[in-house]
Structures are given as structure tokens and as C-alpha cells.
A and B are shown apart, each in its own frame.
Chain A
């Protein structure tokens, strides 16, 4: 593959992997603000090592190794009392995530269907939090309920969506047997 085409292919792989990397890093560092920083460092490292990438091999596992390293590096730079996870929990989360049977795209498809099943008021809350990116206090002002209620409602909606996705996963597993 000539250099220009290789570069194009690499950029394509990198862009396509962004969401999966963000999902993995968020899980490992505990919050999205820090995750965005770690993701950018990961991107920087991936680009620096682009010439080492073997196009015959899948991109995502290769990129995830960098994400894992950057998440570890982030932990080293952060004071221990500010770390969200102990070393043991960090490793458990990483192993579990990487052992997930289906790619993130599959979960996105299920999520799409699960969101459709939510009540209108729940969809409204999701829209405010994730489309409009309103803070809890802003949602509080809009809906006229307390901040604690908003946090609780969001928790319950996410829990319901997680159960719904798990249901999809189990049905798919059963259909393969």
C-alpha cells in the first residue's frame, strides 16, 4: 500500500475506533472529563506509532492496548487519593470489558431499540441530559423537581436500559444455540 493510501486507511481506522476507545477509557478512569483527556493522549500515541501498525491485523485490539497504557499512565500522574479505583478493581474492569462478547456497535444497535421503549417523560429526560447536555440543575429548573430526583431518575433510566440490553444479549445467545 502506498504511503498516502496507508495514511488514509489509518485515519479511517482511527476515526472509526474513537467511540470504542472512549467507552473503554471512560470505564477505566471513572469519569468522562478525564476520559476525554486520556483519549486524546491515546490518539496522539496512536498517530506517533502509525508506521508500526500492521494493516493485516485488526486495528481495535492494537489501539486498545495504547488506551490501556494511557489509562495506566493517567493513574500514575494522579494522586492516589484521587483515584476512583484500586489497582485490583482497575484490572478487573479492564479484563471484563475486553472479554465482552459483542462489539460496541452491536450494543449501540440494541440501545437504539431500548430507548424507543422508554416512556415519553424518560425520553425527555434523556434528551435534556444527553442531546442538550444540560446540567442536573438546568434539568431541575425545566422539570420543576429536585436535583436528587433528577439524579435518581437518570439512574433508574440507565438501569432499565442496561437490563434491556442484557435481554437482547441473552436472546441473541439463545438463538445461536
Chain B
């Protein structure tokens, strides 16, 4: 009779949570197939897990849970109440069961899946590059990811970041960026090298940050041996201590100082730093600043000067508004290209290409798509065949540099250019097809040598998931449901759907739910509206949506949307 392995409970947990590696899945599969006791354990664990998940809200917002707790100490039947409420809803027209994202935390696909570095968590990350083998380089443009090295060390990485990892995952070189490391006992001796500073772990949780001015180390739990750039020992840092290395000067030790420092450290000490790496790194920086202000005043003055410069940049005049909004839209017929090029000099700016039909896994790069900025002609669908979007622009004659900012509902990204660069390949999402839908606002701000803003241009790009692969896009007036509902919703609208509204120049979408009404006046007659539901206060229940085109007929497109904890049912009349 087989003996149930003592670690089966951990294996079972990893499988149920979807965190198991291929090797662990294989072991689990073999165990439940050969050992009835293992199968019974799984059956029990999964049954209770699902019952608890369902009865405890199934994703209901914290607000709902707290409200329920106030009314009644036990809230185990919340999910049933939500389901019952949903059952009362009926639409008069079409209904769609719309799939939700594969996971609350988008799970990346190749090349991330093929890397020896394992993805553990993903929070609004963007522009992630994982090495196909080690030694190799990890890059992250924006957001936060947690990865596990072959040594078992887990690194929370905050972008922008660039990191080189050696073969066994026992040493990394932080070129720039910020990280929090959790080092299990078996990986003792794990080393992080940063400019002017080396951290040699002695079993701990610690952070390392590197930027143009130097490097910092801070310890949240355990001990770290800090070395300078030459390998000479600085000191051993315990919890609440760290080291700052700047340029050529000798690295100096910092520590939690005063009540403010104690309060900051208390919130992130120990394993709390792993749970909230951004907060931990911010606290470490603030603790360092407090220490420097007290014991290294000349350094504090230099830091204040840097802060003043950054504030001045932030408060610089706002970018000049680009009045003609460019739209790049998906196409029903692949490669149908807008014939008209950008004719106005003001518009000759951002050329964006969207990602759409028949893309599948094709790595092919589409030609840049000219964006027609005319309000009367920009309703056509455009097509490209890649998730790599070529951006191209002409320089403002007075500009010496430019900043490109791309802001979506789920992520944001920014980068700077000098006048030598007039195009950029932007990867909108890491996988061959998008994990979530999004709406991106692109702004290219031109600045003179002194930093003054001399011009700006904008564009917008919608990534619509179901337009990848073979799914068709319905753009005819008769068959125009609002499809593709996700946690963050993209709502397409087009005055051209009916003859009666085709003359409209603006649109309006009103969203309402039990006492909450949001009116969105849209400055164009066609495009996408990004409705941010994720991490919002909208909650669950029934939403009424109305789309109108002011100045034309009074009839509206009405829709009723039911947001359930596990997905959506959507109706359109």
C-alpha cells in the first residue's frame, strides 16, 4: 500500500492555487492516480476550498463583505445572495456569457513561460523581458512582478528595472531599478551586486535600489553583509539598517532613526516587506533620507536640490492639447489601409498601429498605419498583424528632446528621446495575444533644450482581445452588440451604426447603478470608451448603460450589464 508523502498537502495546495510547476503537476498527477488516499485528500481539500471561496464572496468587494459583517456576524451566504440578485435580471434582447480573464493575475505566456526564471506574481507590469536561459537579463519597463530564481530566491521587481542573473540564480547584478529579495535558508549567500555596492545575504529579506546617483541597501529581516564596489566590507546590516553608496565616496551605513523612522519601519518589517514591496522600498528610502538629514547634512542638501529639480519638471507647463484626436481601430478586412495620409502639419505626428485580426502568434511586423485625424473619416477599421506597434513622428523644429507617455487602464509607460530618434517600437503587451483589453492614450511631448514644452501630439489605441485570432468584429448597424466585456470594459461606439446618427460629432455614454450615475461626454462620434471597473467602487450588481449621439435622434442604445463575482452576463437591446 503506498504511503502518502508528508509534503502532499503542500503539493495539493500548489496545484489548487495554480502555482505548481510542470514537475510538481506531474508528481501530483502520479500520486493521485496511484494512491487513493492522495485522491481523497485532494477531493476533500478542493471541495472545502470551493465551498469557502463561494460562501465567502467569490470575489465580492471588501465593502460588501464589511457591510455584510455589520449586519450579521456570519457572512457565509453572501455569494448565494449575489447569485439570487443576479437571477432577477432579464434583458429584452441578446445575452452573452462573456469570459473573464484567465486569472485575476494575468498569467504571461511565452517567452515568460519558457524562462528558467519563474513568474510568481504580476501587478500591472509592462514591458517585461525574461531570459530564455541563465545567465541572462531581466528587464521590466513598468509595474511590479515577483519572480523566483532557480536557487529559490524570490525577487519582487519594480520597474523600470534591468537585472542580470547568473546561471544558478545565486547572484544578480542590478543595473538599475529597485527590488526586494526574500532568500530562503537553502539559498544563503545569495548576492546582489549594484553600482558601488554588494549585498551578501545571511538569510533574510532585504531591498536594493540603484539609480543614476548610486545604490542603496536596506534590511527588513535577518542580516546582510554589505561590501563596497571594490569588495571591501562595509558592515553587517541587521533589520532596520542599510547602506547607501554614492559615486566615488565611501558607502555609509544608515539606520532607523527617531519616532518617524520607527513608525515607517514597523509597517514593513519582516515578511511584510515581501507582501508590499513598493511600500517597503518607499519606507526604506524615507528612512535613509531621515538618517542622512540628521547625520550627513551636506548630502541632504544635495538630495533636496534633486527633489527641487524634479518638482520643477513636474510643474512645467502642461502639454499643448492636440485637438484632432487620432484613432486607430480594428479592421474587418485585414490589411485594409487608410488611403489618406496625415495631411495637416499639426497632425503629422504620432503614427500608431493597432493590433488586430488574424494576428495569432505571427511575429511579423506590420507596416506603420497612417492615422487619419479627420473626424469625418476616421471611422474605418485599421489592421496590423503584431503586438509590436511602430510609432513614428516628425520633430518639432524647436525641440531638443521628447517624452513619450503611454497610459492605459491597466498599465502605464514613459520613455524619453533625443532628436536623433524619430521612431519607436512599442510592445503593447508581452504575449502574442493580449491578456486583457485596454485603451491607451499616447502623448509625445516635445521640449526645448531648457526643458520648456514646445509642442505635443497625442493618439489613442484600443486593444480588443477577441479581434485576435479568427473572431470577427461586428461593425454593421444591425449586428452591433457591445461585446468583449471584461473587468475593465472597452465599449465601442460609432455614430455610423445608423444613418440617423451618422452626422453626429460627439457621443455620450451614461452609466448608472443604484444611485450612482456617471455621464461621459465624448468629443468624437466613434471610438472606444474605457470603463474602469477593476479596483473601482462600482462593485457588483446591475448596471444600465445608455449611448446617445447628441444633436441627432433622441433614441439611445440601452444595455443592461450584470456583474457577477465570477464574470459577466451582458444584455443589449
Contact = CB atoms under 8 A, between A and B. Distances in A.
Contact of B271 (A8, A105, A144): A144
B46 interface: yes
Interface hub of B17, B46, B96, B273 (most chain A Cβ within 10 A)? B46
A20 B343 CA distance: 59
A30 interface: yes
Nearest to B39: A89
B296 interface: no
A133 B59 contact: yes
Given A12-B87, A137-B274, A162-B47, A40 B22 contact: no
A116 to B, nearest CB: 7
B34 to A, nearest CB: 10
A23 B51 contact: yes
A24 to B, nearest CB: 9
Nearest to B94: A47
Contacts of A129: 52
A152 interface: yes
A32 B567 CA distance: 13
Contact of A40 (B62, B97, B107): B97
A108 B89 CA distance: 24
Given A47-B96, A155-B45, A158-B48, A40 B567 contact: yes
B28 interface: yes
A52 interface: no
A107 B51 contact: yes
A67 interface: no
Interface string B22-55: 1001101100110000010101111111111111
Interface in A10-31: 11-12, 14-16, 18-19, 22-23, 26-27, 30-31
A53 to B, nearest CB: 14
Given A27-B47, A131-B65, A15 B16 contact: no
A63 interface: no
A135 B154 CA distance: 15
Given A89-B39, A111-B76, A131 B10 contact: no
A51 interface: no
**Chain A contact patch, size range:** 35 or more
Contacts of B564: 15, 18
Contacts of A161: 48, 52
A83 B91 CA distance: 38
A133 B569 CA distance: 23
Given A18-B83, A33-B102, A151-B9, A84 B15 contact: yes
B489 to A, nearest CB: 15
B566 A36 contact: yes
Contacts of B22: 81-82
A158 B274 contact: no
Contacts of B44: 158-159, 162
Given A7-B90, A23-B47, A115 B76 contact: yes
Summarize B's interface: helix, strand, loop or mixed. Answer: helix
B25 A82 contact: yes
A31 B62 CA distance: 23
B86 interface: yes
Contacts of B102: 33-34, 36-37
Contacts of A84: 15, 25, 28-29
A43 B99 CA distance: 9
A108 B275 contact: no
A83 B271 CA distance: 33
Contacts of B566: 18, 22, 36, 39-40
A132 B62 CA distance: 7
A3 to B, nearest CB: 10
A4 B45 contact: no
Given A107-B51, A140-B271, A141-B271, A33 B97 contact: no
Contacts of B57: 130-131
Nearest to A130: B56
Given A23-B51, A43-B567, A116 B74 contact: yes
Contacts of B97: 40, 43-44, 46-47
Given A40-B98, A108-B51, A144-B270, A152 B10 contact: yes
A96 interface: yes
A124 interface: no
A11 B95 contact: yes
Given A32-B16, A144-B271, A112 B76 contact: yes
B45 A27 contact: no
Contact of A159 (B45, B65, B95, B273): B45
B184 to A, nearest CB: 9
Contacts of A127: 56
A98 interface: no
Q: Which of A11, A44, A85, A129 has the most C-beta atoms of chain B within 10 angstroms of its own C-beta? A: A11
Contacts of B10: 148, 151-152, 155
A93 interface: yes
B308 to A, nearest CB: 36
A129 B16 CA distance: 13
B417 to A, nearest CB: 38
B270 A141 contact: yes
B92 interface: yes
Nearest to B121: A135
A144 B275 CA distance: 12
B337 to A, nearest CB: 34
9 contacts: A31-B17, A31-B18, A32-B53, A36-B567, A37-B99, A40-B566, A44-B97, A84-B25, A158-B49
Interface of A: 4, 7-8, 11-12, 14-16, 18-19, 22-23, 26-27, 30-34, 36-37, 39-41, 43-44, 46-47, 81-86, 88-89, 92-93, 96, 104-105, 107-108, 111-112, 115-116, 126-127, 129-133, 135-138, 140-142, 144, 148, 151-152, 154-155, 158-159, 161-162, 165
Closest 10 CB pairs of A and B: A43-B97, A130-B56, A15-B87, A141-B275, A40-B99, A162-B44, A155-B9, A12-B87, A44-B97, A31-B18
